[in-house]
Chains A and B, each alone.
Chain A
């Protein structure tokens, strides 16, 4: 199994470890609910070093990328970040990722751990000439510092003015004496930073952040809380809510498809999909009683089966069960009552407006 540079650190901290897409990762340290609340109210630190980094560079880097991604790279200047899917010809999502404009002709792609090889091969096969594609995933450790106190904590370790880094912007600077990318991004919906740096420094930097965060309630957080946090904000998770069988429009990510930017892979099909979108749409729901919907559970309406749950969990903030499901479009209006089959019985749920929190 793959291990991040912090694997031993997590074990020393008593984390419960799990296999996540071939990576041995911490699920929780002291408990998912406590870690979740720390991020909403104070701050949490996540090891996200399993994420992949792919560098695309050369005279045709921008042109190549804009042919591969669905969003429009054109407006992306140095120091700015773009969220985008990459799609197959039929509009199915290969991955969703972040594009960092390091400088003109140089872009760093941050991709999902389980898709690193697939993305790397796809991109390499589809770039124009004079474009280099390198898988740099082993060169980076990555930490996510997330929560309302994130800025106060990180400020103690760096000379740069963090206020000058706007949402979806980044700077290359030193923190704790380590060269890093300081990126104002995250997967929790809170103020926060994602930090990319050399793996050799990971343990030392983790300790320094934890120490700087002592007075601010900083808590080590695992993938369990990462999942409940993103679900409360209705952020799609690759492999759960989106995959090669789903397209950005049905996933509610139409804003990431720049149909008018010129040609790109999947455009022809995505135009058609947009025109009669969508037979099934990713829809948030809440369960008022006991019980929880989980990935793969079936959903029923008056006329039988109407869809399938893709993500379901407990919301520590709302203290009730929430989830996302692909539902037939007649059932996607807010307030619609649906039923979910949970372990051989049906429980009532209601379509709600996202995000949950």
Chain B
């Protein structure tokens, strides 16, 4: 199981990557491993706005269903449509091709409340 460096993490097992003009959000390797084979993904509409910790999507695996919670407030500017036909991308590449949404953040300072890779690794160790 891997925790990728240089990302922010939430205790709900989402990660956030800073890009020049947006934030990219996905779920961690730990989360996909816990869920097992993901077979359906529900994602929000572009332009939808969320407050921090709102549910923005659903991941459904053979055995379980799980909400995804947005780690930062913001407006959705892009969703990973490839996941609708290939949900297994989340299992195969959770930090890369398995990203979920891109967000225009409402408040950059919210990032400071998230965990670093190191802190998240410790957090899942305890889970």
Contact = CB atoms under 8 A, between A and B. Distances in A.
Nearest to A313: B62
A292 B65 contact: yes
Nearest to B91: A31
B61 to A, nearest CB: 8
Interface stretch (B12-20, B34-42, B109-117): B34-42
Interface in A199-250: 224, 228
A224 B63 CA distance: 7
B60 interface: yes
Interface string A297-334: 00000000000000001101000010000000000000
Contacts of B36: 16, 27-28, 31-32, 224
Interface in B42-80: 42, 58, 60, 62-63, 65
A294 B62 contact: no
Contacts of B40: 290-292, 314, 321
A185 B9 CA distance: 48
Contacts of A321: 40
A343 interface: yes
Contacts of B37: 31-34
Q: What secondary structure prevails in chain A residues at the interface with B?
A: mixed
Contacts of A31: 36-37, 91
A31 B42 CA distance: 21
Highest count of chain B CB atoms <10 Å: which of A16, A27, A33, A294: A33
A292 B37 CA distance: 14
A50 B39 CA distance: 29
B59 to A, nearest CB: 11
A33 B62 contact: yes
Contact of B62 (A16, A314, A343): A314
B50 to A, nearest CB: 18
Interface string A19-43: 0000000011001111000000000
Contact of A291 (B60, B62, B63): B60
Most chain A CB atoms below 10 A, which of B58, B62, B65: B62
A32 B65 contact: no
A314 to B, nearest CB: 5
A222 to B, nearest CB: 10
A290 to B, nearest CB: 5
B65 A290 contact: no
Contacts of B60: 290-292
A343 B42 CA distance: 13
A33 B37 CA distance: 7
A305 to B, nearest CB: 22
A27 B63 contact: yes
Contacts of A228: 62
Interface in A1-59: 16, 27-28, 31-34
A237 to B, nearest CB: 14
28 contacts: A16-B36, A27-B36, A27-B63, A28-B36, A31-B36, A32-B37, A32-B62, A33-B37, A33-B39, A33-B62, A34-B37, A224-B36, A224-B62, A224-B63, A290-B40, A290-B41, A291-B40, A291-B60, A292-B60, A294-B65, A313-B63, A314-B39, A314-B40, A314-B62, A316-B62, A321-B40, A343-B58, A343-B65
Interface of B: 36-37, 39-42, 58, 60, 62-63, 65, 91
Given A32-B62, A32-B63, A290-B40, 10 more contacts: A28-B36, A32-B36, A33-B39, A224-B62, A224-B63, A290-B42, A290-B60, A291-B60, A292-B40, A321-B40
